[in-house]
Amino acid sequence: MTADQQKPEASISVILIDDDPLVRKLISKHLTQEGYSIETFENAEDGIAAFQENNSDIVISDIHLPNMSGLELLTEIKKISTATEVIIISGDADKSAAITALHNGAFDMFEKPIDLSLITTTIKRTVRYQDALRKCEALGAQVEMLSTRESERWNINSFIGESKPVKSILDQVSKLAKNDKISVLIRGESGTGKELIAHAIHYGSARSGNPIIPVNCSAIPDDLAESTFFGHTKGSFTGAVSDKKGCFETADGGTLFLDEIGDMPPAIQIKLLRVLEDEVVVPVGANKGKKVNVRIIAATNANLEERVADGTFREDLYFRLARFTLKMPTLNERRKDIPLLADNFAEKICHEMAMTKPKLSEDFMKALMDMDYTGNVRQLRNVIERSLILCSDDELTSEHLLDLSPKDRTFDTDQESGLAIPENLKEAETWLIKRAIKNADGNISEAARRLGVTRAKIYRYK
């Protein structure tokens, strides 16, 4: 049975325990007619023995039983199965004990004389509750699985390197993960891994069970910025057809990752500062605020001190965000890590492409080490990916590299096509395919027809 399906009455099992044979007969007959599967017992011992053999969905028990009270029975049933719900039958004189049973985990109670319609209503309500609980547990399991998957994807072990700058970053990330309230500002060039570090801090902290919400501040139109960050109420502006949570509410209990924080509109900066100080957001159109518990991790490749000096970034917000600053090293500053990164990228990309990982030759590694990485780790990954696409052998060599700087190129350029003319067979094959694609205006089928090869061959080199 899936989490979206509710059990039909015929599959719901009930155990009834009561020392009064008339009560057992009355309830048993009624529930059988209603389509439930029911077993009856006159004492707790027999009922528990049957329950141990085959756990029922629901147990109905009198509060007073020979040799064992209904309270004791409740405890024993819950020891065996917390998923089974217990309903207590009581008389007027037993109300106090029945209420105690409710406090101890009984789902419901009803009084004698028996109202059969009330029994049916109570059981249906119990079944609905159990069904909702199953759905919540299934959803919780899915959330836990996704959280685990994301944690594995973004954990600090994903940040590859053995260089001194990397070891320093990893040490700081470990400390920041333990203190999940302090704001963090991550600074560094594009492609240095700022987002990875933000996620590593989040998933290493006590907030990992709640979301991390990434927001690119430079990509939000000024007129939508306030709504994006703080939410809005229905009718607060044209197009606001319903209430909507903003990023802060969505990230409640977790982390808000503000990428390119230097590009945040000035009007939003003051409101962000207020949220950081008060931990309250006020949606557009709302009259009162909402309490939020959010950790802020911001990132930028801009010089925020210069922006503070020229008045485009608030100084008080800068100091609030920069309570702890991480400076990401460029790849040129951690060249020792290039072989490790290259091998790791090759492993991951080959897995994604369902291909056998080729050997990374010495001349390939040397060529990688000689390159200038203005695009940092992201550039290196792109170089590896394109090299793997071009590789049809069991070894990557320098001939597979398309991203060498102009001074390292060993061939001329065809003036008509703008493509480099190769000097060996392997480069010639690549060159011909790329030229065919260009001449066919990007039409793969036409390029394949002109070359007399399959589309698959083209895609391998594309």
Checking 26-32 for CB contacts under 8 A at 24+ apart, the result is: 26/114, 26/116, 27/60, 27/114, 27/116, 27/119, 30/116, 30/119, 30/120, 31/119, 31/120, 31/123
Q: State how far the Cα of 265 lies from the Cα of 314, in Å rounded to an integer.
A: 10
Q: Do domains 155-327 and 333-461 have the same CATH topology?
A: no
Residues of the chain scoring pLDDT < 50: 1-5, 403-422
* Check whether domain 9-133 has CATH 3.40.50.300, yes or no: no
Domain 333-461, architecture per CATH? Orthogonal Bundle (1.10)
Instruction: Give tens-digit pLDDT for 36-74.
Output: 999 999 999 999 999 999 889 999 999 888 889 889 999
Domain ranges for the chain, please list them.
9-133, 155-327, 333-461
How far is the CA of 9 from the CAs of 3, 6, 25, 45, 255, in angstroms?
17, 9, 19, 27, 45
The whole-number pLDDT of residue 118 equals 87
Arithmetic mean of pLDDT over the chain: 83
The whole-number pLDDT of residue 137 equals 67
* Check whether domain 155-327 has CATH 3.40.50.10140, yes or no: no
pTM above 0.75, yes or no: no
Q: State how far the Cα of 438 lies from the Cα of 298, in Å rounded to an integer.
A: 42
